Amino acid sequence: MPMYQVKPICGGDIKIDLPTCMYKVPNIHAQQGKSCTPEHALQNGELDPAVKALEARQDEIMRKLYELKAAVEGLAKTVMTPDADLDLTVSSSLSSQSSTTFKSTTDLDTVLGKDLGALRDIVINANPVQPPLTLLVLHSLLCQRYRVLSTVHVHSSVASVPPQLLSCLGPRHADSYARHMFQLGFTLIWKDVPKPQMKFSIKNMCPIEGEANIARFLFKLLAPYPIDPAVATLVDSWVDTAFFQLAEGSVKERSAVLRALNSTLGSNPWLSGPEFSLADIACYCCVLQSGSASSSPANVQRWIKSCENLGHFS
């Protein structure tokens, strides 16, 4: 038994302006007659032209997405940013001079492994209350050995940073946007952290904590550790002594270290022998931070002047 019919509430001739970005389908309310089969339904197994147009539009969108994905993957080979938790970009610098401080130098591929042309990013979080002077000196040496893109940032956890710390890595370089021109990325983030933290190639290694450990990592980018195990152990011993006794020790411990420095420097120009090393960098910076430079013995005073004459401790 056929059901009763009701009149349409609105006519099928009403025109509605739709955004041009939307696709269109036939208006089923505009169909005439009692047939329940609209024009866009299947006819002899063929799709309605509107459905075909929608499929073609979807295929075109997918094609553009695949092209965009390929472009991003290609860009990722030249741009790598391991730490994106940044708030304020302050400065960048570039230096391509050759280093003359060390007689034997190392190669990035030897220490860090081969890379597909990507910029090797070194990101360091440090507290501005206790600036890592050793890392700043090593940055200066790295700039003489490699093309370094150096940048300073301020994290939101820090209320304010002295102007000299904002420019501690040098002025902004005009080509800082062209990352492919550099070999190393040195990013220093002033952040409220208990101790310095370094991230490098976060896909392959865990963060490094502590100024001494970071200094050892950076120094290996400048020159290989001494081949002689005794000399290498001596360098590590002085580095630990600098950070644990000079920087964090009591007055009695500092006095003992200064006496040991004076005795060693009485027969050698540098702490590990005839060549300048990480031991000299660490001990000099810690002597300076502890305020013991002016009251140090004669041999230590002479050694401090020799370090300053190198030009990396300014």
What is this structure's pTM? 0.64
For 134-155, what is the mean pLDDT? 90
Written out in words, the top-level CATH class of the domain with range 229-310 is mainly alpha
**Domain assignments of the chain as residue spans, ordered by start:** 108-222, 229-310
Beta pairing class for 184-190 and 120-126: parallel
Decide if domain 108-222 falls under CATH 1.10.260.40.
no
Name the nearest CA neighbour of 248 among 93, 114, 130.
Answer: 130
pLDDT at 72: 79
In this predicted model, what pLDDT tens digit does every residue of 211-227 receive, in sequence order? 999 999 899 888 777 77
Decide: 99 and 222 in contact? Cβ < 8 Å. yes
CA distances (Å), origin 3, targets 6, 32, 37, 174: 10, 18, 18, 80
Q: How far is 232 from 277, CA to CA, in rounded Å? A: 10
Whether residue 160 has pLDDT greater than 80: yes
In this predicted model, what pLDDT tens digit does every residue of 163-194 receive, in sequence order? 999 888 888 777 777 777 888 889 999 999 99
Q: Is there a shared CATH topology between the 108-222 domain and the 229-310 domain?
A: yes
Whether residue 141 has pLDDT greater than 70: yes
